[in-house]
Structure 1
Amino acid sequence: MDLPAALYEPTDDGYLATALTIGPWDAGLQHAGPPAALLLREAERAGGIEGGQTVRLAYDIFAPVPVGPVRLRSSVVRPGRRIELVETVLTAGDERPLMRLSAWRMRTRPDGAAPPTPAPHPAAAGPEDSRSEQAAFFSTDVAYHRALDWRFPTGSFNAPGPASAWTTPRCSLVAGEPMTPLQHLLVMTDAASGISAELDWTTATFANVDLIVSLHRAPRGEWVGMDAVTTLGGSGAAQCTAVLFDAEGAIGRSAQSLFVEPR
């Protein structure tokens, strides 16, 4: 199968989304993972801390992002040499914001007084010992689920309940440049509520209105993963949380607030 080489192609004033950004609800709308990674890329380019680390990413999803041209703009809300807050907004067509990222960034330095906290690895098995699987609920064959190679130590894309998954990129984020591990993490993490769905995709909508990612260190290596669970509130809302990890161990957590209703 021939797949686009990237999630986005650069244009004169922004980026053009390829078919690999298509989400599960509508073939004309993007999955939120690719634009989340694109917003991160823009925030890091706009920040003033050279070589800094992004430790918290808070996304607000105001409306679905169409598959097509998008534009981004950034501002440093709180400048600083050690800590900064960068805000990036994504628009398409008119100037109405569709997604917004608020990213806290910090300088990076070795800290011999505070070594990493040892902890068991969250994954039950590594990617080489996990089951390869493709999501069966996308309406088009070339869509977001093809952008990453998915491997499941536990659970499934296509059955309800908690799940854990490893992923590695099959494409770049922006044509002509490699996808960084943190960009890869953001492409993946918005799918936490998809792999741990508690409702049938054909009978219910459970779209997230936000995504929060908190990291104690940056991801490293070719494979990153998540161990996700969705909790239904019984009142039209739900929450999905996930532990995020790479081959060396846990790197942080994510949370999503879900709007739930019958389709």
Structure 2
Amino acid sequence: MAAYYQLLNREQHSDGSCTASYLSNIHAQGAWNPHEQHMAPATGVLCAELEQFQPRDEMRIGRVSLDIFGLIAFGEFTVHTRVIRAGKTIELIEAEMQANGKTCIVARAWKMMKQDTSAIAGLEDQSIVHPETLPIWDGMKCWPGGYIQSIETRAAEGHRAGKGIVWLHNDLDMVEAQETSSFVRLLGMVDTANGIVPRQNPASGWGFPNLDLQLHLHRLPQGKWLGLEATQQYGDDGIGLTSAVLHDEQGPFGRSEQILTLRKF
């Protein structure tokens, strides 16, 4: 099966940290710049590193916070993963992507102790229409790049600029010759939320790239389809916000936020 990345090397260090070297391919190519990676698969490969770093059966990742430091360079890069704050019930870990000697993305994840809370469980977000009932949507064709070409999209009725529901799916592994978990596969598409309900067409002369991606998960996702119930809002002083309720075929599992810098090109 084709993949977004190839693992070149992995080195465990005496302090418990780990450094992995990767090579991106055309499927990871960005939409704003052909010489950079798209933030969606970049999130996926960072989540893969966070997921497999010192795993503990009694804990799971509840939040991933990613800050984009600059160009996510295409080609070879490294991911250095380490513990920031160790603990028995909560633990903070970090994965830093570097390319050409520069930091591209810093991802931090809170690992949290699991326990049975079924007696008090309750959600306010509602399930959305399932993807198999929806037609294939070609609205992403306004975006260039290899990543966009790698995904299938289906949109619910009522989709418009600024608000809509879109399901996404891809058949690629995140890393060549490695099994891709639902956690990695679905979180590796969430950044697409910023492009599914744009208030401005990318050809309009306005750009709205995100500087971060915040992911909060009240349960772990399952399956291969990601549903994005997204809104995009622009302020009047150059800052915008893309927000989404995250769904799999079982229902809502979390939320995402992206802060945007609005710029006239």
TM-score, normalised via structure 1 length: 0.90
CA contact (8 A) 2:143 2:202 kept: no
CA contact (8 A) 1:122 1:243 kept: no
Alignment of structure 1 residues 36-47 onto 2, 5 Å: 36-47=43-54
Q: Residues of 2 paired with 1:14 and 1:155: CA distance?
A: 43
Instruction: Give 1:112 shift.
Output: 4.0
Q: 1:48 to 1:118 in 2, by over 3 A?
A: closer
Query: Which sections of structure 1, spanning at least 5 residues, go unmatched?
Result: none
CA contact (8 A) 2:59 2:113 kept: yes
> Aligned partner of 2:34: which letter?
A
CA contact (8 A) 2:134 2:155 kept: yes
Alignment of structure 1 residues 214-253 onto 2, 5 Å: 214-253=216-255
Q: Report the count of equivalent residues.
A: 253
Q: Residues of 1 paired with 2:58 and 2:104: CA distance?
A: 28
Q: Residues of 1 paired with 2:88 and 2:158: CA distance?
A: 43
Q: 1:120 to 1:253 in 2, by over 3 A?
A: closer
Deviations 1:168-190 (A, max 9, x none): 22200001123211112222111
- 1:105 matched residue in structure 2: 111
- 1:146 matched residue in structure 2: 149
Deviations 1:119-162 (A, max 9, x none): 56342x2101112124212335xx11133221111456xx6331
1:183 aligns with 2:187: no
Measured on the aligned residues, the alpha-carbon RMSD in Å equals 1.8
Task: Indicate the SS of the match to 2:37.
Answer: coil
Q: Residues of 2 paired with 1:93 and 1:212: CA distance?
A: 25
Task: Indicate the SS of the match to 2:183.
Answer: helix
1:5 aligns with 2:21: no
Alignment of structure 1 residues 1-263 onto 2, 5 Å: 5-12=2-9, 14-50=21-57, 52-94=59-101, 96-114=102-120, 116-119=121-124, 121-123=126-128, 125-134=129-138, 135-140=140-145, 143-154=146-157, 160-202=161-203, 203-263=205-265
> Aligned partner of 1:129: which letter?
T
Q: Residues of 1 paired with 2:118 and 2:163: CA distance?
A: 37
> Aligned partner of 2:24: which letter?
A
Q: Residues of 1 paired with 2:29 and 2:209: CA distance?
A: 14
Query: Which sections of structure 2, spanning at least 5 residues, go unmatched?
Result: 10-19
Name which of structure 1's ranges 144-153 and 185-194 shifts more when overlaid on structure 2. 144-153
Q: Residues of 1 paired with 2:214 and 2:107: CA distance?
A: 10
CA contact (8 A) 2:73 2:104 kept: no
Instruction: Give 1:228 shift.
Output: 0.5
TM-score, normalised via structure 2 length: 0.89
Instruction: Give 1:242 shift.
Output: 0.5
CA contact (8 A) 2:186 2:224 kept: no
CA contact (8 A) 2:36 2:72 kept: yes
Instruction: Give 1:83 shift.
Output: 1.5
CA contact (8 A) 2:64 2:216 kept: yes
Tell me the percent identity: 27
Q: Residues of 2 paired with 1:119 and 1:229: CA distance?
A: 17
Q: Residues of 2 paired with 1:78 and 1:72: CA distance?
A: 18
